[in-house]
Amino acid sequence: MENVTSAVGGVKKWRVLSPVVGRDGKTYFRQMGIAHQNQDVSINLYLDGLPVNGKLQMRPWDEVPPWERKDAKPGQLALEERPRDGAPF
């Protein structure tokens, strides 16, 4: 096996997200769990829940999600600015 880590980009930890369409028609991502890469390049998923729409997406853990960014684009609220009640979905 040559270059084992290149099969998944060398990433060892992933966010598992589910795209959810809000009432406003925009797509929001709900974190559903985490994933870890094993030495043999297989991936273990640890889910906190199951998506109703059956869709999951994995993104590298190093990538900062939009809700944690301080320089979020207009319409994307940073985590501390988000309302705690009244989620759009």
pLDDT digits (tens, 9 = 90+) for 29-56: 899 999 999 989 899 999 999 999 999 9
DSSP labels for the chain?
A: --SGGGGGTT--EEEEEEEEE-TTS-EEEEEEEEEEE-TTS-EEEEESS--TT---EEEETTSPPGGG-TTPPTT---GGGS-SS----
Residue 16 has pLDDT above 90, yes or no: yes
pLDDT of residue 44: 95
Q: Which residue has the higher pLDDT, 21 or 89?
A: 21
Confidence band of 4 (pLDDT split at 50, 70, 90): very low
